[in-house]
Amino acid sequence: MFGIGCMPFEIPTSLRDTDWAALVQKELLAIPAVETAVLQVPADSLTGQLPLAETEEETTPDNYRGRFWPEPDFSSSIVELTIPQRLHEDLIRSPGLGVERFRVETHYGWHGPVTYVSLRAPGRVNTASVSTGVQLVSAFLTSELAKTNSSVRMARVGPSPFHAQVLLSRGDRGSGAFEFEVVDRHGYETIQVKYDPDTYQDVNLAQMALFSAIDDQLQLFYSLVREQNRRALAASEISNQAAILTSLATDSGTRAWFKRVFATGSRARRLGLEALQARLVAAEDERRSTEAIRSTLAQSNAVPIFETHLLEVAANETDHIIQGALDIVALAESSRSRDFEVAVVAASTLLGAAAGAIAGLLAGGVT
């Protein structure tokens, strides 16, 4: 059984000329609990990779990052470590797992990284331990790297642990490479995957093949999660601006009236343009997501275990916020236009009356 997350090892872009694999391996092996650390990076996979577009992106929360540095295509890191039972409760504020040995694999693909955490324990491991194991590994390695002021950091994109965990076991002969079903929906989903013993000699070989069959789906999932988070952040800002515009449009009093008539027009137009831009971005995201999901699931070795999760995370959940902001803009502009017309008519009336009075005074003076 294994848990799923997105926890790549990252270094600052200022070290982009450093041998990433050698540096990460060195820093990990400096942690006493780490038994092995192997990074496999194909030749030239880092060649031509540019640093982040803006250095400020390095401080952007992981859940909103466009990408990490580096993301070497078709590379992997494999770490085996022991986390003593006595440390578990301090790290994750819950009782120990009863398991101390873990294998952590991060695979990098076209859409980014995905991480698998396997509990290396004899016998059956309960499903709750698998999800907790992802949290434990993340907390432990993050803490240990921080202690040494390492330039290597373990990033983390939620959900980590993923809201599903996979139980891999031997199936019937001749059943096909893999069969799967969701067997438990309480809390985190448990997905039962059975492998054909005629195809794979043991569970370790089957797990390697399964990772290959689901890598692209999960890498795409975490890429779409970050896109979804960026859309939600933009929609939240638009919602805040719409609330301010609503307040300005409904405040009472003479001062508020003048401010509404003469100062909110540019704010409303700017908000309207930002809302329309956000809608265009969401539409383009949806188009690209649909195509990416289709092509990923169409791969010859793909086992479509996570199709439902991909469709859910690709869905645009911000359109009602955007539409609400556009409705507020339209209503505020309509109300402001009417108030402005009243102001113009009133000003014209006053000016006309003043002009008439002045003309009368002048006429009286001439007489």
- Domain layout of the chain by residue ranges: 2-162, 224-366
pLDDT digits (tens, 9 = 90+) for 338-354: 555 555 544 455 555 55
pLDDT digits (tens, 9 = 90+) for 307-329: 999 999 999 999 999 999 999 88
Per-residue confidence (pLDDT) for residue 358, from 0 to 100 = 53
**What is the average per-residue pLDDT within 108-127?**
81
How many percent of the chain have pLDDT more than 70? 82
Per-residue confidence (pLDDT) for residue 48, from 0 to 100 = 61
pLDDT digits (tens, 9 = 90+) for 245-293: 888 877 777 665 666 666 677 888 899 999 999 999 999 999 999 999 9
Between residues 253 and 171, the one the model is more confident about: 171
What whole-number distance in Å separates Cα of residue 184 and Cα of residue 206?
Answer: 22
Between residues 271 and 124, the one the model is more confident about: 271
pLDDT digits (tens, 9 = 90+) for 268-279: 889 999 999 999
What whole-number distance in Å separates Cα of residue 9 and Cα of residue 106?
Answer: 9
**DSSP structural state of residue 59:** G
Per-residue confidence (pLDDT) for residue 4, from 0 to 100 = 95
Asked whether the beta carbons of 84 and 32 are under 8 A apart, the reply is no
Residue type, 268: A
Per-residue confidence (pLDDT) for residue 1, from 0 to 100 = 79
Number of helices and strands in the chain (H, E) = 8, 10
Pairing of strands 189-195, 164-170: parallel
Query: Does pLDDT of 134 surpass 70?
Result: yes
Query: Does pLDDT of 363 surpass 90?
Result: no
Per-residue confidence (pLDDT) for residue 310, from 0 to 100 = 96
- Residue 133 in tokens: 């194991």
**What is the average per-residue pLDDT within 18-43?**
94
Query: Does pLDDT of 227 surpass 80?
Result: yes
Pairing of strands 164-170, 153-154: unpaired
Compute CA 105 distance to the chain's CA centroid, rounded to the nearest angstrom.
Answer: 20
pLDDT digits (tens, 9 = 90+) for 141-170: 999 999 999 999 999 999 999 988 888 999
Compute CA 318 distance to the chain's CA centroid, rounded to the nearest angstrom.
Answer: 14
Per-residue confidence (pLDDT) for residue 91, from 0 to 100 = 92
Q: What pLDDT band is residue 52 in, cutting at 50, 70 and 90? A: low
Per-residue confidence (pLDDT) for residue 104, from 0 to 100 = 97
**DSSP structural state of residue 52:** P
**DSSP structural state of residue 104:** E
What whole-number distance in Å separates Cα of residue 285 and Cα of residue 23?
Answer: 35
Per-residue confidence (pLDDT) for residue 198, from 0 to 100 = 92
Asked whether the beta carbons of 1 and 119 are under 8 A apart, the reply is yes
Q: What pLDDT band is residue 330 in, cutting at 50, 70 and 90? A: confident
**Looking at the DSSP assignment, which residues form a beta bridge with residue 154?**
9
Q: What pLDDT band is residue 128 in, cutting at 50, 70 and 90? A: low
Q: What is the mean pLDDT of the chain?
A: 85
